Amino acid sequence: MLRIIAGKSSSASDGAVSLKFKTAVRELFHYMGMFVVGDALPFLGWMDIGGHQKEMKRAFGELDGYLQEWLIEHKKNRAEKTEHDFMDVLLSVLDGESLHGYDSDTIIKATSLVNLGRKQSMIAGGTDTSTVTATWAIALLLNNRHVLRKAQEELDGVVSKERVVTEGDIGKLVYLQSIVKETMRMYPPAPLLAVREFVRDCDVAGYRVRKGTWLMVNAWKIQNDPSVWPEPTRFEPERFLTAEYRDVDVKGQNFELFPFGSGRRACPGTNLGLQMVHLTLASFLHAFDFSTVGDEPVDMAESFGLTNIKATPLLVVAKPRVSPDVYA
């Protein structure tokens, strides 16, 4: 993703900077998701109890420094480049322009950071949707071995043990798709969707809402509501094979299940994230039999933050279930 956005990679020349950048992204999103006293008592915000705001600003300043350096580099080499990345495209559209009172450099850096923030942490093992969802899915499967066996039986029937899983197989793996949906229902990657702000006064369901009001959507609560989902704490992918829920997807068209948000402000990486999590999970289940250390149940405790990361590392004992030649 870093290569797509800014033309950087994890090579020897870019590796050290890339690692520092990924670390700063992870730190920034960690502090952004923290509860601080000023959130509940704004008049105490200036005290910065715990120093979290200071650390967040430090991480952001570090990121801004990298982005500014890359932006200057892009401007300098722009005429000579034959391959263009996301920053190059933004420069061609916005160079020298201002928008809503912000100069083009600020807009380009902010837009790049938003996109990197969504996907960069996939490489760093942090907050990416596909990483988080795959981790929760495997944890749930380890605590529900009958579902794991059924998923592997489907894979053996569709793919066989003689070849690798491909993207073309995913559409035929109906039970696997149900596992991903059920995982995202129970453990949405972002329990609270991105904050919305009303840009003008309006009436909503009889309530007068003032301009500047923040709206926070609790996706976790909706997706675990017993009036909508029978036995919401029960991991049951089969519910998505029934007539009632078969057509419910996760792309924002059904308001009982929308882990990526909905409408114009939905996550722009929805399709990429779903593609990656399905292929990653399918390949892992196809290639390995796995269990927990000592066959102990997996601790399903959640961490607190913008992203619903598992509180404790997932430790897995994996054994090959297909010939080594298949994935060689």
Residues 106, 315: Cα–Cα separation, whole Å: 42
Is 267 labelled a binding residue?
yes
Concatenating the DSSP letter of every residue in 214-262 gives: EE--BHHHHHT-TTTSSSTTS--GGGGGSTTTTT--SSSSSTT--TT--
Residues 299, 260: Cα–Cα separation, whole Å: 25
Residues 6 or more apart in contact with residue 149 via CB below 8 angstroms: none
Q: How far is CA 199 from CA 204, 210, 212, 216, in A?
A: 14, 9, 6, 15
Kindly report the CA angle at 280 between 319 and 294, in degrees rounded to 5? 35
- β-pairing verdict for 207-209 and 202-204: antiparallel
The pair of structure tokens assigned to 271 is: 């399709």
H-only helix segments in the chain? 2-6, 15-32, 37-40, 52-77, 86-94, 104-124, 129-142, 145-158, 167-170, 174-186, 219-223, 270-287
Residues 53, 27: Cα–Cα separation, whole Å: 12
Residues 289, 153: Cα–Cα separation, whole Å: 12
Residues forming beta bridges with residue 302, ordered by sequence position: 310
Q: Residues forming the annotated binding site for heme?
A: 267
Q: Residues forming the annotated binding site?
A: 267
